[in-house]
Amino acid sequence: MGIAMQYRRLGNSGLQLSALSFGAWVTFGNQVGRGAAREMIAAAWDHGINFFDNAEGYANGEAEKVMGDVLADLRLPRDGWCVSSKVFFGSAVDPRPTQKGLSRKHVHDACHAALKRLRVDYLDLYFCHRPDPETPIAETVWAMDGLVRQGKVLYWGTSEWSADEIREAHRVAQAHNLVAPSMEQPQYNLLDRQRVEVEYAPLYADYGMGTTIFSPLASGLLTGKYNDGIPADSRLAQEGLTWLQRGLRGERIDALRRYTALAAELGVAPSTLAIAWCLRNPNVSTVMLGASKLSQLLQNLEALEVSRRFDDALWERVAQSVA
């Protein structure tokens, strides 16, 4: 790799995460077996990645088992890397009421189940995977605070919560002297900017919130591989992911073609350019990479160098190409 890994603080916390991290979203336990997972986690570690992201709902807990087995097998020093889980969707195929959501019970049970699957004594980061309209935010804040005080979780945060919901969590924490959320995990990419750049803008200043952004490639749309339809072996063709296909409408495809043409003109792979663009936002603590093969991961890692290669005017052209 042409450039050393950069590390960024998770918001105003003292935790330094690699600017690029590695996640197991729809790959581990589905598309990716243990052998490929081991190869990619080893390569990620060798290139300076120190944060591995997971969730109870990824492949019904199987993704966490694969990652836990690989991390144990590689014998990487536990104080050198961070691992996350997320709670909300449950890991059961058909979860019963207490096996999902953000009640004190499920937040507690899901944490202990994730520790077991990931084969660790504590989670570095633990996210509420979605807001839960069935549970008072205060109950969830108290539950997370309890896990932090027990040493089971070091930092807790949210994923895809509204700014108002995040504010409410901070209000509760402040009122009762509880541990407040440190980070949010939103979707962020060239096609999806509003929440991270506008809605959350006051939260960075008010609370020092960090972000661990996912889907920098807009679920693969920014790779260029869907410019002419959906290849049979691609993520969009997978059963159960038809919701991703809805992003492919006429004007969207035109924008994607303009974007991939610009990437070609710059001599950069479209995926690498899209990740590099995300890295330029100072409120992004880490960009989470998902890959189903080693070659993809290595190409994505080139984004560190690409993010420094061009001037502001060129990056504005990149953003305008999909507008």
Q: What is the pLDDT of residue 242?
A: 63
Percent of the chain with pLDDT over 90: 83
Three-state SS annotation for 30-58? CCECHHHHHHHHHHHHHCCCCEEECCCCH
Q: What is the pLDDT of residue 120?
A: 98
Are 143 and 173 spatial neighbours (Cβ–Cβ below 8 Å)?
Answer: no
Please, what is the end-to-end C-alpha distance for the chain in angstroms?
31
SS3 61: helix
Between the alpha carbon of residue 18 and those of residues 50, 100, 124, the distances in Å are: 6, 30, 14
For residues 245-270, one letter each, b for 16 or more C-beta atoms within 10 angstroms of the residue's C-beta and e for the rest, the string is eebeeeebbebbeebbebbeebebbb
Are 83 and 118 spatial neighbours (Cβ–Cβ below 8 Å)?
Answer: yes
Q: What is the DSSP letter of 189?
A: B
Show the CA angle centred on residue 210, arms to residues 123 and 101, nearest 5°. Answer: 55
- Find, among 269, 277, 264, 285, the residue nearest to 320 by Cα: 277
For the chain, domains (ranges, CATH) are 7-217+281-292 (3.20.20.100)
Are 259 and 318 spatial neighbours (Cβ–Cβ below 8 Å)?
Answer: yes
Is 200 designated active site?
no
> Cα 4 to the chain's mean position, in Å?
21
Structure-model confidence comparison of residues 265 and 33, the more confident one: 265
Q: What is the mean pLDDT of residues 60-80?
A: 96
CB atoms within 10 A of CB 109: 17
Out of 58, 155, 188, 207, pick the active-site residue.
58
- Find, among 247, 254, 246, the residue nearest to 228 by Cα: 254
Which pLDDT tens digit goes with each residue over 283-323? 999 999 998 899 999 999 999 999 999 999 999 999 999 99
Which pLDDT tens digit goes with each residue over 224-255? 988 887 777 776 667 666 656 666 667 788 89
pLDDT at 277 exceeding the cut of 60: yes
Q: What is the pLDDT of residue 1?
A: 46
